[in-house]
C-alpha cells in the first residue's frame, strides 16, 4: 500500500516504513504528525482517487530528527563596476518515518 501526499509544497509517494526528508516541521522529534492532503491511495489492485473518499484519509508520520541541508552559495557579480555580493543559504529540514496509512471510513 502506498499513497501520494502533498506536504511542504511538494508531492511525495509514501509507503509504511519509508523515511522522508521534508521542509522543517514545527513538531519536536518523537512526535506523531498526520499529513492530511492525501491525493491518491493504492492498495494492491484498488486505486482510490475520489476526493470524497480521500478527505478522510490520513498518513501518519513520526518526526525523527531536525537538520539543515547543504550550503548553497548565491553570488551576484557585475563586470567592470566593482559590484559583487555573496550570500549563503542552508534549508532547514526534517526527517520523518511513515508509520501508517489510513483510508478512513
Say what the pTM is. Answer: 0.82
Q: In what order do the strands lie in the sheet with 10-15?
A: 10-15, 2-7, 38-43, 46-48
Q: How does pLDDT run across 31-80, given as a tens digit for each residue?
A: 999 988 889 999 888 888 888 888 889 999 999 999 999 999 999 999 99
For residue 86, what pLDDT is reported? 97
Cβ-based neighbour number of residue 21 at 10 Å = 13
For residue 63, what pLDDT is reported? 96
Cβ(54)–Cβ(48) under 8 Å?
yes
C-alpha to C-alpha distance for 9 and 59, rounded to whole angstroms: 16
For residue 43, what pLDDT is reported? 87
Q: How does pLDDT run across 22-36, given as a tens digit for each residue?
A: 999 999 999 999 988
**Length of the chain in terms of residues written:** 105
For residue 33, what pLDDT is reported? 94
Amino acid at each position: 500500500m502506498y499513497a501520494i501526499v502533498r506536504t511542504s509544497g511538494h508531492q511525495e509517494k509514501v509507503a509504511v516504513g519509508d523515511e522522508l526528508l521534508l521542509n522543517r516541521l514545527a513538531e519536536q522529534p518523537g512526535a506523531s504528525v498526520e499529513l492530511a492532503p492525501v491525493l491518491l491511495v493504492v492498495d494492491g489492485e484498488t486505486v482510490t482517487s475520489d476526493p470524497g473518499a480521500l478527505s478522510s484519509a490520513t498518513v501518519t508520520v513520526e518526526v525523527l530528527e531536525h537538520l539543515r541541508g547543504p550550503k548553497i552559495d548565491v553570488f551576484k557579480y557585475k563586470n567592470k563596476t566593482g559590484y559583487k555580493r555573496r550570500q549563503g543559504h542552508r534549508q532547514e529540514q526534517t526527517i520523518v518515518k511513515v508509520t501508517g496509512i489510513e483510508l478512513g471510513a
